[in-house]
A and B are shown apart, each in its own frame.
Chain A
């Protein structure tokens, strides 16, 4: 277990480096939400999910949907790392003709749905979960939601429906970084998120979304839930890993100057050394 965790932590540093690479210098990029979800994405692609980059359309693969589509850089980072497309594509993110669009599109190998207009990914994931049942397949569908995104009414339509359909192959993960585009999410009070899911019949698990051990255990625990969907509420830090961007709405979607970029890379190098020393 210890070795696994260390390996995943090592991987998550690489994922963060990949995110930086796709953001580049002096270009706009969703630093904050990509970094906050990086550890979760790492655990999904390199521990939990059954998937095969050589056969991305395999019918019984597990699926990951970034409902908070703007944070797809974290998914691109993992897909490149897993070998879905060459790493060189990361540098072309958001350029004309690139397979890596500003928000997820199925033209990208490994991307499962078009998302980005917030609030829709959980419903799409529900459709996939229902299809699994019809086809007698055992795959699971993971959907990463933003906490700010929970203001979208459609999320709660999907929450109710998933519970009605007893979709225990659907796992939502809330990247609860507490900051949305223009400031803290309490600018629009959401109430008790956990209680809202529980009231609708969901299994809820609350974790530190940067603690790899907790992420891994939560994902394993979700496998054991029967007859109802699971939500993992992951407390995270927006911009995690890049000190000057942490907890700052300003880095929700911001460019990095050359100076900032260098600093971010240095910090991740330090983190890498620290992980190796653990």
Chain B
């Protein structure tokens, strides 16, 4: 399967949009070569602000820029952006609903070597509890580009969650992306699997495996976790025997929780796959970590068989 880097796709798309829209600016906290905000910096140095290793000031400065009509893209690792600068996001951006785009890079376990300090397992949970916040976790590089374009059109705070790893490319430019809408990847009758990020590709592999075992799985990409497409989540859960969620995030507060909330009034069995309320750790490679925390094809297959 063809793989591509979400960060590079983001950085290139941001630059391309910046060429069309002079209000787009970027801020970074000494991670621009990793977050790929460096592309914008190279072409528009006056519209790029190196804020030093000071995320709180960076986020509030972005609020000030937005209050003057700019569209600031704020870049850091997901764990620092949402954790270190949480209060600045809450008070200065979410509460007034400012047009600031927060881009959390190296999310989930994708920064495998750096360990638990750098792996964000709770960023979606934190951002999801904030009123006015929109949260997008694209599944591949192509969807990332589309998401960035839609983020610029949308006026309000958005948290974009990106992986450090090269992810399988499952979508094309024709794939319709709309903020707040889920997308069907495969149809099926026995079980619906709601997934996002890298777990969509894992679910797709599980789909083939399940098929061999006579189980037909519908896979739904939920790249917008907030606002959740509640109507379609309910619809896709109504005609199957069970629902499974899969995410590279804590099972507390992320996609699984959001789906459970949406289905809390429905009679449906739900199994959540995610990081089971524990922190990450260093490993030799990404796959090793995904394996360790049960974010695998076999775990999806096992969970589906168990629940239906």
Contacts and interface: CB of A to CB of B under 8 A. Distances in A.
B130 interface: no
B91 A116 contact: yes
Nearest to B23: A134
Interface in B69-121: 69-70, 72, 87-88, 90-92, 95-96
Contacts of A234: none
Interface stretch (A125-133, A206-214, A223-231, A265-273): A125-133
A257 interface: no
B156 to A, nearest CB: 14
A117 B96 CA distance: 13
A106 interface: yes
Contacts of A59: 68-69
Interface centre among A115, A121, A124 (most CB of B within 10 A): A124
B60 A154 contact: yes
A106 B132 CA distance: 15
Interface in B136-184: none
A172 to B, nearest CB: 14
Interface stretch (B48-56, B197-205, B235-243, B249-257): B48-56
Interface string A111-125: 011111101110111
A77 B91 CA distance: 23
Given A123-B64, A125-B64, A130-B49, A154 B91 contact: no
Contacts of A141: 64
Given A125-B64, A154-B57, A134 B47 contact: yes
B51 A114 contact: no
Nearest to A143: B64
Contacts of A131: 64-65, 67-70
Interface residues of B, number: 30
B91 A127 contact: no
Contacts of A125: 64
A128 B25 CA distance: 13
Contact of B52 (A112, A117, A161): A161
A124 B64 CA distance: 4
Interface residues of A, number: 33
Nearest to A158: B57
Nearest to A116: B91
Interface centre among A105, A113, A123, A158 (most CB of B within 10 A): A123
Contacts of B96: 105-106, 113-114
B263 interface: no
Contacts of B20: none
A127 B95 contact: no
B95 to A, nearest CB: 5
A160 interface: yes
B41 to A, nearest CB: 15
Contacts of A123: 56-61, 63-64, 88
A132 B57 contact: no
A189 interface: no
B62 interface: yes
A128 B51 contact: no
B284 interface: no
Interface string A193-212: 00000000000000000000
B306 interface: no
From DSSP, what is the main secondary structure of chain B's interface residues? helix
B65 A127 contact: yes
A128 B54 CA distance: 18
Contacts of A153: 56
A131 B62 CA distance: 10
A119 B59 CA distance: 12
Contacts of A121: 60
Contacts of B58: 123
Contacts of B59: 123
Contacts of B69: 59, 131, 135
A186 interface: no
B88 to A, nearest CB: 6
A157 interface: yes
Contacts of A160: 52, 54
B24 to A, nearest CB: 11
Contacts of A120: 56, 60, 63, 87-88, 91-92
A11 B57 CA distance: 35
A120 B62 CA distance: 11
A116 B95 CA distance: 12
A128 B65 contact: yes
Given A116-B91, A117-B87, A134-B25, A128 B67 contact: yes
Contacts of B90: 117
What 3 A-B pairs are tightest by C-beta distance, nearest first?
A127-B64, A123-B60, A131-B68
Given A127-B72, A129-B64, A158-B60, 18 more contacts: A106-B96, A112-B67, A113-B64, A113-B92, A114-B92, A119-B56, A120-B60, A124-B61, A124-B63, A125-B64, A126-B57, A126-B60, A127-B66, A130-B49, A131-B68, A157-B56, A158-B57, A164-B52
7 contacts: A115-B91, A123-B58, A124-B60, A124-B64, A126-B60, A157-B54, A161-B52
